[in-house]
């Protein structure tokens, strides 16, 4: 596993003050962060822009040295075993960075493979295996500048797997991709964890991806940890605002009052109004009230024409937490 403890990264920024004076300001990008990634799981690292996500990934992947704190990869400190750590980790960024456009896809992988000490037949076999996995075998000898965005990102995945890492850091891996291509990449990410046993750290602004993929999530703000749990637990803990909408046939006032009386006892508020489709009943609760509302509707003999549940999402939780921390 990867275990980061008390991780801190500080920068000293020089700022101009007037025409002739400069001041130095200390900026803390990451502040006392604890984080772990086990093999075979997908962990999310989330926060608003400037939260410290990319800085954290760069420290975990040895691209930046922490100001203080420790990072252990399979029990080894990366500051004393950086070379061995580099063999165990790799980083895949979104967008169109980290590739050489004038080289072919195959040539890119040869270049990056040799950086990890791979060569000869074993490197060639590794490259063709990866190109097959990401669906680029038929364009292996085309220059990358002729690839589409989706093809470039799939080649990024292959590049990130060239050293067969135990841990992969994904920084916005589906950035700017069409929905079908993004779906394929999410499937591949899940396969890397569940079938190949790799530990995956994911940062993304597409929070539906996090809810779909991640076993655990760290939410950070200004470099500090705000919350750590499964996506479901975070939503359940932070955002207690479920709403349910039901449309049924027009109801008598006494029927509405009976429904209100029953549900109010369960801390569910009820608002009734007539609409063109019939009787609109709007329910709000600090928990998921779906079962209770359904049972109450059935007990009162309602003919349900529409039943819609609006559950809070991870995005709501992050915005709420960031607002509390600011």
Residue 276 sits in a domain whose CATH number is: 3.30.70.100
**Number of domains composing the chain:** 2
Burial class for 256, CB neighbours closer than 10 Å (0-12, 13-18, 19+): middle
Residue at which a domain ends, from 229, 264, 289: 229
**Distance from C-alpha of 43 to C-alpha of 41, rounded to nearest angstrom:** 6
Whole-angstrom distance, CA of residue 158 vs CA of residue 142:
15
Residues 30 and 127 both lie in one domain: yes
Q: What is the mean pLDDT of residues 174-186?
A: 83
Supply the pLDDT for residue 120.
95
Asked if residue 253 and residue 289 are part of one domain, the reply reads yes
What is the average pLDDT across 318-323? 79
Residue 156 belongs to what domain range?
2-229
Please write the tens of the pLDDT for every residue from 141-164: 999 999 998 899 889 989 999 999
Across the range 26-31, mean pLDDT stands at 91
The answer, yes or no, to whether residue 122 has pLDDT greater than 80, is yes
Which pLDDT score, from 0 to 100, does residue 181 have? Answer: 81
Interval 220-238 mean pLDDT: 91
CA dist 134 and 188 (Å) reads 8
pLDDT value for 83: 86
255 and 122 in a common domain: no
In contact, 53 and 45? CB cutoff 8 Å: yes
Question: Rounded to the nearest 5°, which phi and psi values hold at 201?
Answer: -110, 125
Q: Does residue 95 register a pLDDT over 80? A: no
State the Cα–Cα distance between residues 234 and 218, nearest whole angstrom.
Answer: 10
Average pLDDT over residues 41-50: 89
Please say if the pLDDT value at position 115 is more than 90: yes
Strands 21-37 and 2-17 come out as antiparallel
* 8 Å CB contact between 63 and 86: no
Model confidence pTM above 0.95: no
Beta bridge partners of 304: 248
Q: Which pLDDT belongs to residue 325?
A: 64
- Rounded Cα gap, residues 14 and 42, in angstroms: 38
In a domain? residue 88:
yes
* Residue 266 and residue 220 share a domain: no
Average pLDDT of the residues of the chain: 91
Name the pLDDT band for 326 (thresholds 50, 70, 90).
Answer: low
């Amino acid at each position: 596993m990867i275990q980061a403890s008390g991780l801190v990264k500080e920068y000293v920024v020089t700022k101009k003050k007037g025409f002739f004076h400069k001041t130095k300001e200390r900026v803390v990008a990451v502040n006392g962060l604890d984080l772990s990634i086990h093999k075979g799981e997908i962990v999310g690292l989330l926060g608003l822009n400037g939260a410290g996500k990319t800085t954290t990934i760069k420290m975990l992947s040895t691209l930046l040295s922490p100001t203080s704190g420790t990072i252990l990869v399979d029990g080894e400190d990366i500051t004393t075993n950086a070379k061995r750590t580099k063999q165990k980790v790799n980083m895949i960024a979104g967008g169109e960075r980290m590739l050489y456009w004038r080289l072919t896809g195959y040539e890119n992988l040869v270049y990056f493979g040799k950086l990890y000490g791979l060569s000869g037949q074993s490197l060639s076999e590794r490259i063709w295996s990866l190109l097959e996995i990401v669906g680029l075998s038929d364009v292996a000898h085309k220059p990358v500048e002729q690839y589409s965005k989706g093809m470039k990102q799939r080649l990024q995945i292959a590049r990130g797997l060239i050293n067969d890492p135990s841990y992969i850091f994904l920084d916005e891996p589906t950035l700017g991709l069409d929905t079908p291509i993004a779906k394929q990449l999410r499937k591949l990410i899940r396969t890397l964890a569940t079938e190949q046993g790799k530990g995956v750290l994911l940062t993304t602004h597409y929070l539906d991806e996090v809810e779909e993929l991640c076993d655990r999530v760290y939410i950070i703000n200004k470099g500090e940890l705000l919350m750590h749990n499964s996506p479901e637990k975070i939503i359940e803990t932070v955002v207690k605002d479920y709403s349910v909408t039901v449309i049924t046939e027009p109801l008598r006032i006494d029927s509405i009052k009976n429904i209100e009386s029953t549900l109010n006892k369960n801390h569910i508020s009820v608002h009734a109004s007539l609409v063109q489709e019939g009787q609109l009943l709007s329910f709000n609760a600090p928990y998921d009230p779906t079962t209770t509302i359904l049972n109450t509707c059935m007990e009162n003999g309602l003919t349900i024409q529409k039943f819609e549940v609006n559950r809070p999402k991870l995005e709501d939780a992050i915005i709420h937490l960031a607002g509390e921390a600011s």
